Structure 1
Amino acid sequence: MNAPLNVFTSHRSQRNFTSQPVAESLLAEVFEATRRAPTWNNAQNVSWVTVTDPAAKAELAHLAGNQAQIERAPVFAVLCVDFHKTAAACARHGVAQRVQENLNGLLIGVLDAGILAGTMMNAARAAGLAVCPVGGVRREPRKVIDLLGLPRLVMPMVGVCLGYAPAPAQPLKPRLPLSSLWHRERYDDASLETDIARLDAETLAYSEALGRADAPSWSAATAAKYASAGYLHVADTLRQQGFVF
């Protein structure tokens, strides 16, 4: 496998980081790659806020559900759907922006934020950094908005921890096989139950190798999370920020 593809296939979500700071120049290179990622109609409706202040990172870690990796990482980037700057573009031409009044508009922003988050993580890893995505920035979104000073029409979507990983590298976490992800011509779930059983066994072996023999299987962990709606403040906060759906 060539080196660029290896960056993608060797992803690890790193939750421990060394104290080595990340140079501003290296961050600029990573973010330059990030901004070149595609967005719908080249609207570039995503922005991010980097947080390095220890007190602010501690508060974000608390708001995200006590995720300590936010405090451990030298840099925490919060990627946001940003229709504030597209509204400014519309205003230059005397047009009232309406994209935020349609659910598809929100989906456009969310999808683009995901594309840029993936690009940022892979660019960072190609530059020698370790990363960890954090969706918990949506757990208490109103407080995150206030902490980061986000204006109306800007909504935090996902955070990315950036820093250097301690050695040695942890093993790769198991994934579902391609047979349950890649569908040819039509959706086909014929192998799904077998694939889930296989992933459960691999996940238990992975956890045991890391000294976490009491960790749940993949399906058990998924069931525990997906049995409740979670993040119940998101819809109200979106409306407060000016999104209509």
Structure 2
Amino acid sequence: MTTIKNIVEYRFGHTAELPSDADDYPALQVQLGHRTHRAYTDQSVSEALINLLLAATFSAPSKGDLQQTSLIRIKDPEKRKAIAELIPTMPWIGTCPVFFVFCSDGRRIQQVCKMRGKEFANDNLDNFIAGVCDVGIVLQAFINAAESLGLGCCPISVIRDHIEVVSELLELPDRVIPVVGMCLGYPAREEIISMRLPLTVSCHTDRYDDSALESLINEYDQARDAKFSWPKDAQKYTTRFGIADFYGWSEDKARQMAVEERREVGGFVRRHGYSLD
């Protein structure tokens, strides 16, 4: 996959009309070639490079310029070990050279209001959504910048399975919510590029239209399986759902969403300073 056209065709499973000079944009080649890295070399990431990465990260847009994201770098070996032990199925949390926790930070702007003698009148669901959206924007900016520097990343959403413990471990005050972890380092090997849903599924014009969803999902399942088939021992919840002869993306995600996850997160967020009204 040496050209942007090749990467787009591999990623989305179809030929798209692209500008003739698409290969003149190396930043897009990095973004289109994104993949998750879970194995890292022993090479350390210099503090200077981390500073550059963080500067690029926090140059991302922010809703209303409120800047409601905070990153916590976990340098204490005991804290890193404690987080890794919470999630033993992901040993790369403990072995990656650098590990961050990305937090939605609704505390800082509330403190700013106090500093300036103003009432904070936006303790509502929209303010919480804005903070979490900011985390997502910052997360993507971090990944884009890291990959442009030759680094690899692995986001860890599973920290929310242990949101109370992680919050206590990091001494997070109210309105600072741990959203996702992030492994960072130099990749030890080249990982696969995951296919994405075709743009005809994800991109709409003038109105939402999923009238052809079933056929498009079936085609996507087959195309993705042709590149990477889930092994039978990786099928989810086989005790409940059995072993499928054909196990595509849609079966995997349907099984995942059929089992309740993280019901406690809403209660945690409310207990930690958000009304969500």
Same fold (TM over 0.5): yes
Structure 1 pair 203–65 and aligned structure 2 pair: CA distance change class (3 A): farther
Tell me if 1:195 matches 2:216.
yes
Contact kept in structure 1, 2:98 and 2:184, CA below 8 Å: yes
Contact kept in structure 1, 2:221 and 2:248, CA below 8 Å: yes
Rg comparison, structure with higher value: 2
Q: Tell me the C-alpha RMSD between the 2 structures.
A: 1.7
Tell me if 1:213 matches 2:234.
no
Tell me if 1:9 matches 2:27.
no
Of 167, 177, 181, 1:159 maps to 181
Deviating 4+ runs (over 4 angstroms): none
Distance in 1 between residues matched to 2:45 and 2:121, nearest whole Å: 39
Identity of matched residues, % = 33
Tell me if 1:183 matches 2:214.
no
Residues 52-81 of structure 1: CA deviation (Å, up to 9, x unaligned): 344322322333463222112111111111
Contact kept in structure 1, 2:106 and 2:128, CA below 8 Å: no
Helix, strand or coil at the partner of 2:154: strand
Residues 115-152 of structure 1: CA deviation (Å, up to 9, x unaligned): 00111111111111001111112111111011111111
Tell me if 1:111 matches 2:133.
yes
Distance in 2 between residues matched to 1:165 and 1:53, nearest whole Å: 23
Contact kept in structure 1, 2:155 and 2:181, CA below 8 Å: yes
Equivalent residue letter for 1:3: P
Equivalent residue, structure 2, for 1:70: 93
Equivalent residue, structure 2, for 1:134: 156
Equivalent residue, structure 2, for 1:240: 271
Distance in 2 between residues matched to 1:202 and 1:51, nearest whole Å: 39
Tell me if 1:85 matches 2:108.
yes
Distance in 1 between residues matched to 2:95 and 2:271, nearest whole Å: 32
TM-score, scaled to structure 1: 0.92
Contact kept in structure 2, 1:64 and 1:139, CA below 8 Å: no
Structure 1 pair 53–118 and aligned structure 2 pair: CA distance change class (3 A): same
Tell me if 1:226 matches 2:244.
no
TM-aligned CA deviation for residue 3 of structure 1: 0.4
Distance in 2 between residues matched to 1:104 and 1:163, nearest whole Å: 35
Q: Which runs of 5+ in 2 are unaligned?
A: 1-22, 235-246
TM-score, scaled to structure 2: 0.82
Equivalent residue, structure 1, for 2:15: none
Distance in 1 between residues matched to 2:77 and 2:151, nearest whole Å: 19
